[in-house]
Structure 1
Amino acid sequence: MVKSGVLGYPRIGADREWKKALEAYWSGRLGEAELHEALRGIRLAHWRKQRDAGIDLIPVNDFSYYDQVLDHAAMFGIVPKRFGYAAREGESVPLPVYYGMARGTAEATASEMTKWFNTNYHYIVPELGDSVPVLTENRPLAAYREAKETLGIEGKPVIIGPLTFLRLSKGYAPQEADLWLNKLLPLYVQLLRELEREGVRWVQVDEPIAVTGLDEDELRRLRAVYEAFAAAVPKLNILLQTYFESAEHYAVLKELPVQGLGLDFVHGRAANVRAIREHGFPQDKVLGAGIIDGRGIWRAALGEKLALLEELTAYVPQERLIAQTSCSLLHVPVTASRETELAPVLKDALAFADEKLAELVQLTYGLSGRAEAFAPEFAESDRAIQALRGSAERNRLDVLQAAQRIAAEPAARSLPFSERHPLQQRHWHLPILPTTTIGSFPQSPEVRKARQSWRRGEWNQAAYESFIDAEIDRWIALQEEIGLDVLVHGEFERTDMVEFFGEKLAGFAFTGHGWVQSYGSRCVKPPVIYGDVAYIEPMTVRESRYAQSKTAKPVKGMLTGPITILNWSFAREDLTREQIAYQIAYALRQEVEALESAGIGMIQVDEPAVREGLPLKPAEQADYLAWAVKAFRATTCTVADTTQIHTHMCYCEFHDMIPSIEAMDADVISIETSRSHGELIESFEHHTYPLGIGLGVYDIHSPRIPSAAEMTAMIERALRVLDPQLFWINPDCGLKTRGLPETEASLRNMVEATELARAKHAAVVPAG
């Protein structure tokens, strides 16, 4: 009979128990032994839940103490030398070193963090450099033993494949890829042999790079890796798993000497089905059919899913078919059962991780000829989906027409930057190398408590606004005293940069418990775009106008851009993402105009998530970038020439999209460079950037305080390739998660570094 399988389960817990345990350990409130015990309890509960739901192939080693890619780096002893630790075979990397790589220490900067393919999950980038890889511990084996010995579960160990691990790593030249693969391959073989000796039946080897396109060298390496595995572990069943898109080079993948091939039939459905129709499916392999969306929150149309599975059985008999999630459930919340405050028409259409487990089991029953056991569930899924599609919230003619107008208009400022910039210089009288921050300041316990009191109704609106105003007063004064040139109001009234705006726009809903992991212990509760997005009333004007009234220096208005709101939300599926982006852009344009009318002449529209939405298929990327750029420009194009539009991007690889960033036509962009140790600067050696730019000079996701000398070095490196007259100095990102002492000390060092740079490059921007 057909089996059910899951590629990974959310590690955070329904009440974010995982996050709380990590943060208690970091703060010293929990010892190492207590941390291990707390996380073990969470891990066992997750396995037990999947077993009790009826899942046949339960993943093990998908759990992590921070990040699965970091786990692999530590497992292979790949620890940067700056952490002062030499890995040894058979000895696990100590937790302080492990967390130091992720978060930094007083002596060493953290490793780079970037997005996991086109998701909002961030992984820690392994730094190969001059490390000497060894197998410090067999994590998959330990997880397998724990599940079997404790719960009697025959788990399916999950590992990141060698090709994907190598592609996601840094610290080696392209011509060194074979050298590094030859260093890593023996460790993989050693790991797999130990699993085979243990009696493991199936191992899931994740190779998501197989959906991004492989050149001839990579195809050669792919064959070599899996031929080596077949020779080394002939009794071990390997499921070569792809996800997030259709597999490239399917004809090559299906001939590899593995026992199973996992394909995504949600995000790569059409191409993967076509490939199987054209090339068939091997009679000696199992097909892992990713039929349930591991990234989306919407209920599956069970009838349609069952029809697709039945179509696949024309090529793969049921006994060699696994109905599974399209990817790990890491990307969705844990359970929708607790969302009792949502409107029934919306709640009934949701399926989080636990509901997806049930859907998988229902589909296996249906395909096995036992559909009557779940006939009510099949009927209810269809009813719930149709009810949401027909709701008034999804059928607003005014919004649909506005989005069509946005799509048709050119969306351009009245003057090009070369003519706007002199006007803005005369208007603002800023010094050379102006300093600013990205937007948010530390959200102290007092700020969070005040917000909770207001949300619970314990404080009225006047009391809450009075508190926020006092915080703005304090931070405006502190920014002036530190010596920043362009100020921000601090965003104390905001929880999350997307949630805040979604709460004030029509078409959004918010879960009570829909948390997902973003990076480390940072969890977010993405808004749900379930209807047509529309502007209701000003969202940020009151706080921005108040802050500006307290200083003669410019205060930036702060908005989140349309693409980031889209990419950091769970979006509806009945419209294209482009159509939704234009709806959001039109709503935000009205807020930009309201800020400008209120006297705010610098407006920052943040777009940190543009890069992560880039399609994995190169052929589709140009179209996405075109409409993403257009949505940003549609948001900002109606302002006066002297109004300065800023934007911000962070924690992605931007080297290959600098032309698109330039096409956004923001007067100033601030962009992350410190976590990647300034590597983005190299791109500007080959591409002249003609607009204002601020390359973040220190990493705000680490608690360490960088010195003025450290930031000066970053500034000087940037100014070798960027125009000092267009260069801004700022941190990498917002400062919401940092403490007051470290924030103040870091900003003072940043201003000191700026003064040193100004003395070297110029005193004042020439007037006129």
Structure 2
Amino acid sequence: MNTLLPTSTAGSLPKPSWLARPGTLWSPWKLEGDELVEGRQDALRVSLAEQERAGIDIVSDGEQTRQHFVTTFIEHLGGVDFERRETVRIRDRYDASVPTVVGAVERKNPVFVEDARFLRRQTTRPIKWALPGPMTMIDTLHDIHYRSREKLAWEFATILNQEARELEAAGVDIIQFDEPAFNVFFDEVNDWGIATLEKAIEGLRCETAVHICYGYGIKANTDWKRTLGSEWRQYERIFPRLRSSRVDLVSLECHNSRVPMELIELLRDKKVMVGAIDVASDTIESPEDVADTLRKALRFVDADKLYPCTNCGMAPLARGVACGKLEALSAGAELVRRELASQDEAGSVVPG
């Protein structure tokens, strides 16, 4: 990216009301068959137009063609029975009915590749595509076949690598792996979680990112955050190992959170997608709010490695709110760009 402080979203954006129920996370589709295919493509066009209108530099599909950031990918794999469901604890936070791994998992066909090609044809801007990470995938299933979280994670890493290579060939510039589970299972993350993530990015020439947040702005997540105390130091457990990994960018939650900003220092030399938009609130940030978060982050990450972003996906928000937040993100980043440019000009003046 030649743009200083290039902006992007962490993931999902609200779907149009004619495609899914507004304000509802993982809402069922309102269309079927060919109408659903056309409707999802139309929604992708709308989401892209809203990002470009807001001035977002690195655009995405806004996850318009998927219901769930994890299970939509798993639905396309063999070895998983969606009729055989069990209730499991998701990220030690809430209970959910999930499908069961009953045999060897395999990717029979590409999952998002055609959608990525469609997005590539719609824009000349850099595009980012999100995939679920191996550890978050295993945490969203009941497994009676492998009976080993680590073994299943390695299998998923191989499958994700197949998909990622085809997404790269389809013109994706940044492939992001969503790993909210990294904020929970710290020992496993350091023992094999980051290693499976590196397997998922093996051989890629495009940039790669890992998104580690504190979740959507839903009650289960906000309730959990209230138990974390005055400082959220979860990142401290995994950033040292991530710093030495082959992942290019790390996406994290900063704005309106209790994450100590100095923890970013543990990622020194990595590119950091700094969450400067609160997705758990309907309040639209001012450009100055965004700029203030970015200024604080710049004490710990070089300007050419800072990528302003949202804390997490915004699917549950009203579209007007999400668009306002995207505009604030762009405007806040521009404020800081001008400040940095002024500092450079002042520093280049030779005293008389």
TM-score for the superposition, normalised by structure 2? 0.83
Equivalent residue, structure 1, for 2:270: 691
- Given candidates 708, 721, 733, the residue that maps to 2:312 is 733
Distance, in Å, in 2 between the alignment partners of 1:743 and 1:469 is 20
Equivalent residue, structure 2, for 1:650: 213
Q: Residues 69-468 of structure 1 correspond to what in structure 2 (within 5 A)?
A: 429-448=1-20, 452-454=29-31, 459-460=32-33, 462-468=34-40
Distance, in Å, in 2 between the alignment partners of 1:523 and 1:485 is 37
Q: Deviations over 1:561-594 (max 9, x none)?
A: 1111012322337532111111111111110111
SS of match in other structure, 1:432: coil
Matched residues, percent identical? 25
Equivalent residue, structure 1, for 2:330: 751
Answering whether residue 60 of structure 2 is matched by residue 526 of structure 1, we say: no
- Given candidates 238, 246, 250, the residue that maps to 1:669 is 250
Distance, in Å, in 2 between the alignment partners of 1:738 and 1:668 is 26
Q: Deviations over 1:32-87 (max 9, x none)?
A: xxxxxxxxxxxxxxxxxxxxxxxxxxxxxxxxxxxxxxxxxxxxxxxxxxxxxxxx
Equivalent residue, structure 1, for 2:200: 635
Equivalent residue, structure 2, for 1:544: 116
Distance, in Å, in 2 between the alignment partners of 1:517 and 1:702 is 25
SS of match in other structure, 1:728: strand
Distance, in Å, in 2 between the alignment partners of 1:440 and 1:597 is 23
Equivalent residue, structure 2, for 1:724: 303
Q: Deviations over 1:162-206 (max 9, x none)?
A: xxxxxxxxxxxxxxxxxxxxxxxxxxxxxxxxxxxxxxxxxxxxx
Does structure 1 retain, via aligned residues, the 8 Å contact 2:174–2:207?
Answer: yes
Distance, in Å, in 2 between the alignment partners of 1:744 and 1:522 is 29
The residue type equivalent to 2:171 in the other structure is G
Distance, in Å, in 1 between the alignment partners of 2:74 and 2:130 is 15
TM-superposed deviation, 1:672? 1.0
TM-superposed deviation, 1:445? 3.8
Does structure 2 retain, via aligned residues, the 8 Å contact 1:507–1:530?
Answer: yes
Distance, in Å, in 2 between the alignment partners of 1:533 and 1:696 is 34
The residue type equivalent to 2:334 in the other structure is E
Equivalent residue, structure 2, for 1:341: none
Task: Provide structure 1 residue ranges, at least 5 long, that are not aligned to the other structure.
Answer: 1-428, 615-620
Distance, in Å, in 1 between the alignment partners of 2:175 and 2:168 is 8
SS of match in other structure, 2:238: helix
Distance, in Å, in 2 between the alignment partners of 1:605 and 1:611 is 14
Does structure 2 retain, via aligned residues, the 8 Å contact 1:443–1:736?
Answer: yes
Equivalent residue, structure 2, for 1:219: none
Distance, in Å, in 2 between the alignment partners of 1:504 and 1:463 is 20
The residue type equivalent to 1:743 in the other structure is A
Does structure 1 retain, via aligned residues, the 8 Å contact 2:146–2:152?
Answer: no
Distance, in Å, in 2 between the alignment partners of 1:472 and 1:546 is 9
SS of match in other structure, 1:527: strand
TM-superposed deviation, 1:700? 0.3
Q: Deviations over 1:515-536 (max 9, x none)?
A: 77869x9975433223221111
Does structure 2 retain, via aligned residues, the 8 Å contact 1:557–1:603?
Answer: yes
Equivalent residue, structure 2, for 1:596: 168
Distance, in Å, in 2 between the alignment partners of 1:569 and 1:704 is 34
- Given candidates 680, 685, 690, the residue that maps to 2:260 is 680
Greater radius of gyration (CA): 1
SS of match in other structure, 2:164: helix
Q: Deviations over 1:283-307 (max 9, x none)?
A: xxxxxxxxxxxxxxxxxxxxxxxxx
The residue type equivalent to 1:611 in the other structure is N
Does structure 2 retain, via aligned residues, the 8 Å contact 1:712–1:756?
Answer: yes
Which structure carries more relative contact order (alpha carbon 8 Å, separation 6+)?
Answer: 2
SS of match in other structure, 1:729: strand
Distance, in Å, in 1 between the alignment partners of 2:288 and 2:42 is 34
SS of match in other structure, 2:147: coil
SS of match in other structure, 2:103: strand
More helix by share: 1
TM-superposed deviation, 1:635? 0.6
TM-superposed deviation, 1:596? 1.5
Change (3 A) 1:556 1:525: farther
Answering whether residue 58 of structure 2 is matched by residue 481 of structure 1, we say: no
The residue type equivalent to 2:191 in the other structure is A
Change (3 A) 1:568 1:644: same
Change (3 A) 1:624 1:697: closer
The residue type equivalent to 2:312 in the other structure is C
TM-superposed deviation, 1:511? 4.8
Q: Deviations over 1:98-140 (max 9, x none)?
A: xxxxxxxxxxxxxxxxxxxxxxxxxxxxxxxxxxxxxxxxxxx
Change (3 A) 1:610 1:530: farther
TM-superposed deviation, 1:475? 1.5
SS of match in other structure, 1:638: coil
Equivalent residue, structure 2, for 1:625: 190
Task: Provide structure 2 residue ranges, at least 5 long, that are not aligned to the other structure.
Answer: 22-26, 215-231, 345-352
Q: Deviations over 1:500-519 (max 9, x none)?
A: 11101112222588677869
Does structure 1 retain, via aligned residues, the 8 Å contact 2:129–2:174?
Answer: yes
Change (3 A) 1:515 1:745: farther
TM-superposed deviation, 1:444? 4.2
Does structure 1 retain, via aligned residues, the 8 Å contact 2:90–2:139?
Answer: no
Distance, in Å, in 1 between the alignment partners of 2:194 and 2:89 is 27
Distance, in Å, in 1 between the alignment partners of 2:280 and 2:83 is 26
Q: Deviations over 1:659-688 (max 9, x none)?
A: 1222332211111122424x3312234x35
SS of match in other structure, 1:452: coil
Does structure 1 retain, via aligned residues, the 8 Å contact 2:208–2:249?
Answer: yes
The residue type equivalent to 1:726 in the other structure is K
SS of match in other structure, 2:309: coil
Distance, in Å, in 1 between the alignment partners of 2:159 and 2:243 is 23
SS of match in other structure, 2:180: coil
Equivalent residue, structure 2, for 1:606: 178
Does structure 2 retain, via aligned residues, the 8 Å contact 1:629–1:663?
Answer: no
- Given candidates 647, 660, 665, the residue that maps to 2:241 is 660
Change (3 A) 1:580 1:514: closer
Distance, in Å, in 1 between the alignment partners of 2:326 and 2:294 is 14
Does structure 1 retain, via aligned residues, the 8 Å contact 2:101–2:145?
Answer: no
Does structure 2 retain, via aligned residues, the 8 Å contact 1:645–1:667?
Answer: yes
Q: Deviations over 1:602-651 (max 9, x none)?
A: 2112212123223xxxxxx2x651311111011101112xx111220111
Does structure 2 retain, via aligned residues, the 8 Å contact 1:711–1:750?
Answer: yes
More strand by share: 2
- Across the aligned residues of Structure 1 and Structure 2, the Cα RMSD in angstroms comes to 2.6
Change (3 A) 1:688 1:505: closer
SS of match in other structure, 1:599: coil
- Given candidates 274, 277, 280, the residue that maps to 1:701 is 280
